[in-house]
Amino acid sequence: MILGIWAGKKIVVAGGAGFIGTHLTRALMSEGAEVAIVDNLSTGSAGRTAAPVTVADIATLDRLPLAADVVFNLACPASPRAYQADPVQTWRTSVMGTWTLAHLALAAGARILQASTSEVYGDPLVHPQTEDYSGNVALTGPRACYDEGKRAAEVLLYDLAQTRGLDIRVARIFNTYGPGMAQGDGRALPAFFEAAAAGEPLRLEGGGGQTRSFCHVDDMVRGLMALALCDAARGIPVNLGNPDERTIREAAETVVRLTTSRSPLVEVAAAENDPRRRCPDITRARNLLGWEPQVGFEAGLRSMLDGPA
C-alpha cells in the first residue's frame, strides 16, 4: 500500500454503505485512513464495505463512532424512486440529519463535507449551471422533498459556519454512475442495463430528449477527497460533475450497443418535474481543486458491465 495524505486521519462517512459511499470508503482506506460508517441501510448494504458500520438514523445519532477529523455526509437516498417512497423521511434525513451531524462535527472539532446535489438547481433556466445560480426548483411535487431538503441543508451549514465557526465543504454532486449501483432503484443507467440484459424495452421518459451529464464514480470520489482537503473551498458550494452533456436517448442507445442487446427503445410519459437539461460548470472545481473528470462515458459504462464493485 502506498499511503497518501489521508494516512492516519479518522473519517466518518454517513451513508457510507451506499453507492458513492462504498467507493469513497474504499479509496480512503486504501490511503491509510481509519474509517467508520454510519448508515441506516435503507438503500445500502453493510456487506459491501470493510469499514465498521454503525446502523443508525443520522437524525437521532447521539455520538460519532470515532473522534473524527472529517465527516462526510452522504446520507440520503439519491434516486427518485427511493427518496419519493418516504418523502417525510427524506426531508428529515436531509435537514435534521445534517443538523445532527453538523453539531456532532462541531463538538469534535471536525470538518464536515456535505454531499449536496445538482437538484438544488431544479429545472434550470441557466445553462450550464454555475454555483451562483439560484435555481428553478418546484416547491411542490414528488421531487420537492429531496430538492428543497438539500437546499435547506446547505443554508443550515452556511449559517453554522458563519455563526459557530463550523468548518464546512459543500459538494453539489451531478449524476454519478459506475459499478455497484443498486439494481431496481429506477435511475436511468442501471435501469437501461437491466432492461437490455432481459431483452426488455428501454423506457425513455418524456421521449429521452432531456440531457444529463454523467460522472463516473471514480472521478467523483477523487473530487470529494480533493474538496475535503481544500482550504480555499471552505464555506462555498463546488459543482462536481462531468460537463460532457448528452441526451438520455443517447445514453440508452449506447447501452444497447455495448450490450449487443436487441431491446427496443420506447417512449413513455415524462416524470413530473423532471429537469430538461442538466450540465455543470466546473470552473470552480478546476481552479480550486485542480480536478476534472477523466473517465470517458463508454469506458465508464463498460466498468458497469464488469460487475458489482
Kindly write down the DSSP assignment for every residue of the chain, as one continuous string. ----TTTT-EEEEETTTSHHHHHHHHHHHHTT-EEEEEE--SS--GGG-SS-EEE--GGG--S-SS--SEEEE--S--SHHHHHHSHHHHHHIIIIIHHHHHHHHHHHT-EEEEEEEGGGGBS-SSSSBPTT---B--SSSTTHHHHHHHHHHHHHHHHHHHHH---EEEEEE--EE-TTPPTTS--HHHHHHHHHHHTPPEEEETTS--EEE-EEHHHHHHHHHHHHT-GGGTTSEEEES---EEEHHHHHHHHHHHHT--PPEEEEPPPTT--S---B--HHHHHHH-----S-HHHHHHHHHT---
Residue type, 231: D
Q: Check the CA dihedral 204-305-309-286 and report its sign.
A: negative
Active site residue 146: yes
| Structural contact between residues 213 and 245, judged by C-beta atoms closer than 8 angstroms | yes
The one catalytic residue among 83, 121, 146, 177: 146
In angstroms, rounded to a whole number, what is the distance separating the alpha carbons of residues 21 and 192? 23
Give residue for cell 500500500: 1
| Structural contact between residues 282 and 243, judged by C-beta atoms closer than 8 angstroms | yes
Give catalytic residue positions: 146
